[in-house]
Structure 1
């Protein structure tokens, strides 16, 4: 994807109104919690939104309500991959997070490489009709999922304009997602 197109998508995502973000978050969250994959998953990896991604607060709270175990990503500086931190509802509500140098929030306690996740909800900048996911450019999700001995179901959530019908060039290390939820559609790959 050309840098100009990436920049335009980032700007469009950041420019969304609070109301649009809330409606998108609510509609996607309700569809996820009714899905078969959510119902059968116990260990769920999520993210804390920071750059205009679809907000995840409602989904995190629904995970706690449905007695799911919630994990949040933390960047392992030494290996440039993600480790996962199990959090409690109390930790989440009390906002026990620190800001990483790249701008996202992470749990304060140290995480570890966990391979028991049933479902990973990934942020993205764009996704094509083959499930090729373009993230923010750090490759953290790709590196983490590439070397996992057990691959969880990978669900991308995005605003409708982030779905691109034309193919995005995929590198051998890129990890495609299994499905994409936008505000109005579900794409399965």
Structure 2
């Protein structure tokens, strides 16, 4: 019998919390290595990415690599009016000086009052709690990415990054509002999905 989303969420959150600093760094390094070889990443200029806060794949090395490659880096900002994400461009200096505000949900956000619609991005690197082998993604439960991506069905390219144990063999029942991934990178593998 397949696990319920609640049980799966608890199990994976627990596994993420158990990761040592060394394991986290190792996973981030392996994901970055695969990402640097990814054709979509190479040709993308405007990249949306998250700041890790809950045991997700750490994004510091990816963000620094983006700056080194002269790519534009955008961070999500929750728009309280419609509970969607808008995307705020950050500079290398702003990132390195950690000029961010804490959201009540526990993550850091760029300090801004306005941002761009997700359709301005070429590539969106998404966090996730779990992903199945068909590209269905389970997030943290707030639905922010699903609501945001529903208004931009064909752009940007949606790339999930995750620890390998977050790729599960169980197939999720996709709801009409669920937004699938185009690809997934874990420290051990790289998958592309049909959307």
TM-aligned CA deviation for residue 150 of structure 1: 4.6
Aligned to 2:10: 7
Q: Does 1:161 align with 2:148?
A: no
Per-residue deviation, residues 55-108 of structure 1 (Å, max 9, x unmatched) = 000000000000000000010111000010000000000000111000111011
Q: Which runs of 5 or more structure 2 residues have no equivalent in the other structure?
A: none
CA distance in 1, matches of 2:113, 2:121: 17
- So what's the TM-score if we normalise by structure 1? 0.97
Aligned to 1:31: 34
CA distance in 1, matches of 2:71, 2:175: 33
- So what's the TM-score if we normalise by structure 2? 0.94
Alignment of structure 1 residues 1-150 onto 2, 5 Å: 1-114=4-117, 115-148=119-152, 150=154
> Post-superposition, which runs of at least 4 consecutive aligned residues in structure 1 deviate over 3 A?
none
TM-aligned CA deviation for residue 32 of structure 1: 0.5
- Comparing 8-17 with 66-75, greater Cα deviation is found at 8-17
Taking a change above 3 Å as real, the CA distance of residues 188 and 56 of structure 1, as seen in their structure-2 partners, is same
Q: Which runs of 5 or more structure 1 residues have no equivalent in the other structure?
A: none
CA distance in 2, matches of 1:101, 1:36: 36
CA distance in 1, matches of 2:5, 2:139: 13
Q: CA RMSD in A?
A: 1.0
TM-aligned CA deviation for residue 113 of structure 1: 3.2
TM-aligned CA deviation for residue 11 of structure 1: 1.1
TM-aligned CA deviation for residue 110 of structure 1: 2.3
- Secondary structure at the counterpart of residue 164 of structure 1: coil
- Secondary structure at the counterpart of residue 32 of structure 1: helix
Q: How many residue pairs end up in the alignment? A: 189
- Secondary structure at the counterpart of residue 74 of structure 1: strand
